[in-house]
Chains A and B, each alone.
Chain A
Amino acid sequence: MKVLYSLLAACTLMLAACSDNKPVELYNTKAALPSSPKYNLDGLKVITSFVNKTKGTASTLYGNDLALKAAIEGNKIIAGNEIFTLVTWKQQEDDHWFGAKIPSDVESVEVVKTASSGNTVAVNYQQLNGKALDLKTDTSGQAERIKYILGQKPSVLP
């Protein structure tokens, strides 16, 4: 009897398992970056990635080929046509893995661009904030952010 009962239970369970339509969340929609003419990650490579556990943020620093090369050389010489982009997200628990944190809402996108003319190299900095990517107009603290971004040591990617 117990066997029959068990088989029955197993069958019900299998049926239940099949009709279990837990919605499948394929994308991390929270962390998605809006497309905007203000920045462009296409073709950029990963320079490094880091987190701040106190603030609960995750960042990835991207760069074009020139920026990556300069970063590996320690950014000792700043040349023109380098693009660095630092994206910082809030973190969230990973629903798929207890023990992991993944990016959540975007906090800021910071873009550093260099341009050379003659003997001088101009370094341009822009900070875009929040999901709306609002341009930060207050320019104080820019020098410090540029130094911070150019000071990042690349991740070992053999």
Chain B
Amino acid sequence: MRTNRKPLYQRKVFIIIMILFLGFVGIQFVRPDVPNPPVTGDLEVPADVKAIVQRACYDCHSNNTNLRWYDKIVPVYWGVASHIKDGRVDLNFSEWNKLAPADQKAKLWESINQIISGAMPLPSYTAVHTEAKVSPADLAVLKNYLASMVHSKPADTAAINAADKQYQHWEKNEPAITKLPTAANGIAYIPDYKNWQPISTTERFDNNTLRVIFGNDIAVKAIKENNIHPWPNGAIFAKVAWAQLQDKDGTTHTGEFKQVEYMIKDDKKYASTYGWGWARFKTPKMVPYGGANVLFTNECMNCHKPMAAEDFVFTQPIKH
């Protein structure tokens, strides 16, 4: 029996498929460039640690990006290219020598925490590149390596003297801050934080600091009333960091004041930065971190991002 169907090339479905296909081929030519710039100074860590980082992170965080054929198909390629571009800006293991030793250390601790929280390597990437997944055994290797870098020893005279000198100035109320320093995003230093209530403390053995986290009245009230998920507008945290000053009998005191950081909740005003206003002021002179560059907030947001389910807040307040 004969059907009176049209020839293939006249059928609607066929035409639509052809249009889509041509479109698909066409967009293949819209290709942002992913160059591999020269390696200026590669990450220097033990071989087993490096192998894990290379396998799991180098496609996006180094100048040795190795694109597979399926990464090169648009639109997948667009996503890949933008990940590499963004990834390299924030963290580039091929330009490791451009970071000061303390910053290198900080990036490694941040990295392992991003891995532990499941934020890195990007899940959308490991779904395809399964070989890039960081196994529990890999994680143990990374943790051991970082733990081996932690040393605590009694403070040397230089640290003690620096702390003493700073203390004496502070005690006499110098330098008196007359005009409030302001960060690039318009947030000014809030001197009253020291009269707020502490909601927790941390000992940071990754960077040898002690910290106290203060909450303003709105934050403290929200804690009492179990109303912190999300935090109410107007809640403010101030986190203060000091260098550790260890004495001979094992007690570690707060040494030099390093910085105070703020998070100010306002889901409308700060909608573009996770609903929080971010600012950091360094040294007793309260020098705004980031200078005139407002992009410093990306750093804050990237590291706080894994806490999205907790409204981007790390601290678990202590009730009393």
Q: Which one, A33, A100, A155, contacts B206 given CB within 8 A?
A: A100
Stretch from A42-50, A76-84, A112-120 contacting the other chain:
A42-50
B residues neighboring A (CB under 8 Å): 70, 73, 76, 109, 112-113, 116, 123-124, 127-128, 143, 146, 152, 163, 166-167, 170-171, 177, 194-195, 197-198, 200-207, 210, 212, 214, 223, 228-229, 240, 242, 246, 249-254, 256-257, 284, 286, 307, 309-310, 314, 316-320
A103 to chain B, nearest CB (A): 6
Partner of B70, one of A6, A17, A24, A41: A6
Give the number of residues in A that approach B within 8 Å (Cβ atoms): 50
- Contact of A35 with B by CB under 8 A: yes
Across the A-B interface, the 4 shortest Cβ-Cβ residue pairs: A99-B206, A33-B320, A54-B250, A28-B316
- Per the bound structure, the CA–CA distance linking A54 and B203 in Å amounts to 13
Q: In angstroms, how far is the closest chain B Cβ from the Cβ of A76?
A: 13
Q: Which residues of B contact A62 (CB under 8 A)?
A: 198
Q: Does A147 lie at the interface of the complex (its beta carbon under 8 Å from any beta carbon of B)?
A: no
- Is B70 touching A48 in the complex (CB atoms < 8 A)? no
Closest B-chain residue to A36, C-beta based? B320
Nearest CB on A from B49, distance (A): 15
Cβ of B203 and Cβ of A96 under 8 Å apart? Answer: no
For window 1-47 of chain A, which residues contact chain B by CB distance below 8 Å? 2-3, 6, 9-10, 12-14, 17, 22, 24-29, 31-33, 35, 41, 45-46
Given A49-B201, A98-B143, A158-B286, check contact A24 B124 (CB 8 Å): no
Q: Would B320 and A41 count as touching, CB distance under 8 A? A: yes
Residues of chain A lying within 8 A (CB to CB) of residue B286: 158
Bound CA span A14–B303, Å: 21
User: Are A2 and B201 within 8 A (Cβ)?
Assistant: no
A124 at the interface (CB under 8 A from B): no
Interface, chain A (partner B; CB < 8 A): 2-3, 6, 9-10, 12-14, 17, 22, 24-29, 31-33, 35, 41, 45-46, 48-55, 58, 60, 62, 72, 91, 94, 96-103, 153, 155-158
User: Which of chain B's residues have a CB closer than 8 A to the CB of A101?
Assistant: 202-203, 205
Q: Given the complex, which residues of A lie within 8 Å of B309, measured CB to CB?
A: 22, 24
A contact residues around B205 at 8 Å (CB)? 99-101
The reply to whether B253 and A156 form a contact with Cβ atoms under 8 Å apart is no
If A6-B70, A13-B123, A49-B210 touch, whether A32 touches B319 (CB-CB below 8 Å) is: yes
Check A98 against B112 for contact (C-beta < 8 Å): yes
Q: A3-B73, A53-B246, A98-B143 are in contact. Are A58 and B203 (CB under 8 A)?
A: yes
Given contacts A26-B316, A72-B171, contact A100 B204 (CB under 8 A): yes
Residues in chain B near residue A72, CB distance under 8 A:
171
| Contact among B124, B143, B254, B284 for A48, CB-based, below 8 A | B254
How far is the CB of A58 from the nearest CB of chain B, in Å?
Answer: 6
Give the distance in Å from the alpha carbon of A114 to the alpha carbon of B197 in the complex.
23
CA distance A130 to B177 in the complex (A): 42
Query: How distant is the Cα of A2 from the Cα of B72 in the complex, in angstroms?
Result: 12
Bound: A89/B283 CA distance, A:
29
Question: Bound complex: CA of A98 vs CA of B112, how far in Å?
Answer: 8
List the B side residues contacting A26 at CB < 8 Å.
228-229, 310, 316-317
In the bound assembly, the distance between CA atoms of A46 and B171 in angstroms comes to 15
State A139–B133 Cα separation when bound (angstroms): 59
Contact B167 A153 (CB under 8 A): yes
